[in-house]
Each structure stands twice: as structure tokens, then as C-alpha cells.
Amino acid sequence: MTMLSLATILAESARRYPDKVAVVDGPLRTTYAELWQQSLAYAAGLRELGVGPDDTVAVLVPNVTDFPRVYYAALAVGARIVPVHLLLTAEEMAYVLRDSETDLLVAHSSQLQTAATAAHKAGVKLASVGPLPADLPGAPPRLEDVAAAVAPLPSYVSREAEDVAVVFYTSGTTGEPKGALLTHLNLVLNATVNCFDSNDARHDDVVMGCLPLFHTFGQTVGMNGAFRLGATLVLLARFTGEAAVALMVQERVNVFHGVPTMYIALLEAAAKAESLPELRLCVSGGASLPVAVLEKFNETFHAQIYEGYGLSETSPSATTNQPIFGVRAGTIGHPLWGVEVEIARAEVDERIELLPTGELGELVVRGHNVFAGYLNRPEATAEALVDGWFRTGDLGRKDAEGFITIVDRKKDLVIRGGFNVYPREIEEALARHPAVVQVAVIGVPDSLHGEEICAVVVKDRAELTADELIEWSKERLGRHKYPRQVRFVEQLPMGPSFKVLKRELRRTIGGTQ
């Protein structure tokens, strides 16, 4: 029996770097020693509210210092954590609380209205953190007040390495969201490998924390990764390109983690900014980064982007471009240390058949990062975990040098007139048009071809027409690939983790789910 707790990431950095600033949150600067002591105090408060080992604490907190305080407090008391997306409706939130069998929801005061409704619907106890009006009627107990009345825990509760630490809810693109079970071992190793084996991360780094901390990328690679290093995390509660550039300059941030839409926003902000941050290390994930965006960002910020790949079910990181192997634009690099990523025959579900180098198939993953299954969903777990491999649902290929390229999601594949068309290839081409800011390609129903290719575009030049863009794309794409339809929009629909929601585009533009 191996004992390991994710709480040790903060506990060890507090022991090694007690006076180092762990978190910058506006004017508030919190050292590692302070953050750990505050977490132990909150842990005692959680225990007073009835939370103990193996209980479940849902966390509804934006990117402020109270997120890591509550997160590590729940770990310290031995509970498992359910991070809750801030943009969920009360009904959606109540579903997550019920499905995860949450015992206590801890909500920031800025989220209390939705939290109270959701907790009531789910029959879950509620506590708050953050400032509350003194005369608020029927307010839930404040965790700070409960914690202040008791002694902090002396240390964290022991856990086994394979115990569940965090339950991440998938986005629910197919059916209801499912809770992916991530163990202490999954998350400690993923944070460690991201820091010490995948890129040139350093103890003196200042890391931008603008990815939502409730999301697996921001939580593991950003927060836990920074704390594993003993680096400083600079929090931004509401991301915009302008706010991020200004804050990075002010706090001398040199490491940026983001999704492609964030890199696009930074490029737009850079055109208006008086000065730019001196970035040393940039990591992109969450969705495919158009090569045109990568090239323009490298030119503008003089910083290399290391594109990686992962899912909630892989803790999240599975592969990334790494200095040891070199960087190849348009690829997701090589697997992380201790992780295997191969290409399997996509048409076969009941077993894994690995394909030779260069062939197109489904990415499959095995290693220390693969989750323990879906909460209370044995059938879904059995479909996802086959022969010791996790089936990702993504199509790709591996070249002779081991670089992996994502072609597309299986579910996003467009079949036009019997030909397979991969939206990402079209998006890469259209992203190079000088007037295209952002593009997403979907298939829409068509009586003749079954599906037709539709490009949904955000443009920065009013005079650009659909016909002009279609003609431009004909010169760069095969006859079966170029879009026959173009729709211009002010912005693309985004999820809480800043991913483009293609299912929303298919519903509103294509009339399908």
C-alpha cells in the first residue's frame, strides 16, 4: 500500500520555500508558508462542517486565492474534489452535485446566487468563502469564520496513491456530462512530469494563471505545476487579451499557459499595447493551435509555443512538443515521460489494434496519467478503457520520428459525397487569410452530398465576402474540401474553458446536435 496525497505538492513547497510568493492576486501576495497554513485552517473548518475522508467537496470559486486555499483544504481533510464550471446554470450545477454525490458545496460569495439555487435543488449543504454583506439574510456559513473558531489541522490526512483526488466532469458533448475519476497518483505525477521532464520550467518562473482553475489544464499544468516547482502563480479572474498583456508586463510574467483562443486574443491585444511581456515559455493545449497563429505569436512575442495534447481523462497532459525532441509546428510532439501514445484502428471498438507508422487511426493512451474510470458508469468506462489503453476519440498519425499529429475528432469528421473531410485541415488553411481572425468548420446537412462543409468565421475586415473567401480557399484546398458555405459571426461560442463549442454551431447553423 503506497501512501500519497496531492496535498503534498503545496505542503512540500511550503517546507522548501516558505517565504517565496506562491500566489499574486491583485494587490494580495501570499507566500507558500501562508498559503499552506491558510489551507490547513480551512481544512479544520471543513471538518467542523462535517467533511471527512472520502467525502466529496464541490468547489465553485473563480481565479482568486480562495481557489487554492479551498482546493488544498479539501485534500488536507482527506476529501475528494469536484471543481464546478463557473458558467453552468443552476440546473446544470445541480446535476453535477447530485451525480457526484457531493456532501458540501463551497462557493465564492460572487457565485452565491446560482450556488444557493443549485445546492437547494440537489439537497447539498452550502458554505461560502469571500466577502459577504453583513446584513445578508439566510447566508450560508463562511468557511473563514468556521475555521477561525478552531485550531488548524496539524498536517494533511494520509491517502493511498490510487484513491480518487479530483472528479472532473466532461463537457457533455455526447449525452450527459460524466465524472472522470483522477487519483492522487495521476495528478501528482502529471504536475511533476510537466514541470521537470517536458519543458524548461524553472523554480524562479512567474506563471500566468488565466486559464480557469476549475478546468483540468489550468488546475494541473498551471496551479499544481507552479506549486510543484515552487514558482509564483499570477491569477487573473477574468481573461481578456488586454488585461492579460498588462498584468504580465506588470508582474514580469515569463510563462504563459493558454488555449488557442487566448493566443489569438493576445495577438489582437499586442497590436494596441505599449509594451509586451518578456515571455520565455508558452504552452498551448485544449484544442488544435492553427500553425498561422503559432507563427505570428512567435514573431510578435519572440517566444516559442510548445503545443501539447490531453484530456480530462489523461490528467490532462499526454503529449507535448519538448526541447529534448525538438519542436515541430502543427504537431502535438511526443508522449510525456512514462506515457505511451499510439495509433489504433478506429473502426474496431472491442480491442486495440495498433497501426504502423504513418497510418491514420485513433489515438490511444496508457500510463500513469490515465484515469480510474467514470463515476458510477461501468459501461462507459469499459468502452473507454480497452486492453489497458484509453481510447481518446481523436484521429491522428505518428511519423517516423515519433511526432504525433492530430487530424480531428472522430465526431467532427465531415463525410461529403462519400469523402472523409477533416475540419482541422480546412481551418488551418482559412486561418492564413489575412482578414480571418478565427474560424471553425462544421458539417451541415445536405440533400445531395449528405453533408456540406460550412466555415464559421470571425473577420476583421468588413468588406470580406463569403464568395471572396470561398474563391480564396479553392486555390488552397482540394475540390472535395473547400467550404461551399461561409457564415460570418461576431464571435464563436465558447465553453467555460475557452474552447469553441462546435456542437452549438451545428445546432444553430446546421440544425443538428
Question: Are residues 78 and 30 part of one domain?
Answer: yes
Last residue of a domain, one of 182, 201, 226: 182
Question: Are residues 377 and 327 part of one domain?
Answer: yes
Question: Are residues 178 and 162 part of one domain?
Answer: yes
Contact by Cβ (8 Å): 375, 181: yes
Range of the domain at 458: 413-510
Phi-psi region for residue 213, left (φ > 0), alpha (ψ -120 to 50) or beta?
Answer: alpha
CA distance 484 to 367: 43
Any idea which residue has 503529449 for its cell? 319
CA distance 264 to 104: 38
Within 8 A by CB and 6+ apart from 54, the residues are 78, 79, 80
Secondary structure class of 244 (helix, strand, coil): helix
CA distance 510 to 166: 36
Per-residue confidence of the chain (513 residues) as pLDDT tens digits?
899 999 999 999 999 999 999 999 999 999 999 999 999 999 999 999 999 999 999 999 999 999 999 999 999 999 999 999 998 889 989 999 999 999 999 999 999 999 999 999 999 999 999 998 766 677 899 999 999 999 999 999 999 999 999 999 986 544 678 999 999 999 999 999 998 877 788 999 999 999 999 999 999 999 999 999 999 999 999 999 999 999 999 999 999 999 888 999 999 999 999 999 999 999 999 878 889 999 999 999 999 899 999 999 999 999 999 999 999 999 999 999 999 999 999 888 889 999 999 999 999 999 999 999 999 999 999 999 999 999 998 999 999 999 999 888 777 878 787 777 878 889 989 999 999 999 999 998 887 777 899 999 999 888 899 999 999 999 898 888 899 999 999 999 987 677 888 888 888 886 654
Spell 7-45 as b/e; 16+ CB within 10 A means b: bbbbbebbeebeebbbbbbeeeebbbbbbbebbbbbbbb
Question: Are residues 25 and 167 part of one domain?
Answer: yes
Backbone angles phi, psi at 245, to 5 degrees: -60, -45
Q: Among candidates 3, 79, 5, which has minimal Cα distance to 42? A: 79
Contact by Cβ (8 Å): 126, 111: no
Any idea which residue has 475586415 for its cell? 461
CATH number at 123 reads 3.40.50.980
DSSP state of 86: T
Question: Are residues 330 and 434 part of one domain?
Answer: no
Backbone angles phi, psi at 247, to 5 degrees: -70, -40
What is the per-residue pLDDT for 201? 86
Contact by Cβ (8 Å): 108, 130: yes
Question: Are residues 405 and 323 part of one domain?
Answer: yes
Count structural domains, the chain: 3
What is the per-residue pLDDT for 173? 45
Question: Are residues 421 and 404 part of one domain?
Answer: no
CA distance 193 to 351: 29
Task: Write the pLDDT tens digit of every residue in 255-287.
Answer: 999 988 899 999 999 999 999 999 999 999 987
CATH number at 383 reads 2.30.38.10
Question: Are residues 133 and 35 part of one domain?
Answer: yes
Helices then strands, counting H and E runs in the chain, come out as 16, 25
**SS3 per-residue string spanning 447-478:** CCCEEEEEEEEEECCCCCCHHHHHHHHHCCCC
Q: What is the pTM of this model?
A: 0.88
What is the per-residue pLDDT for 506? 87
Question: Are residues 358 and 494 part of one domain?
Answer: no
Does residue 262 belong to any structural domain of this protein?
no
Does residue 121 belong to any structural domain of this protein?
yes
DSSP state of 109: G
Q: Is 509 exposed, middle or buried (0-12, 13-18, 19+ CB in 10 A)?
A: middle
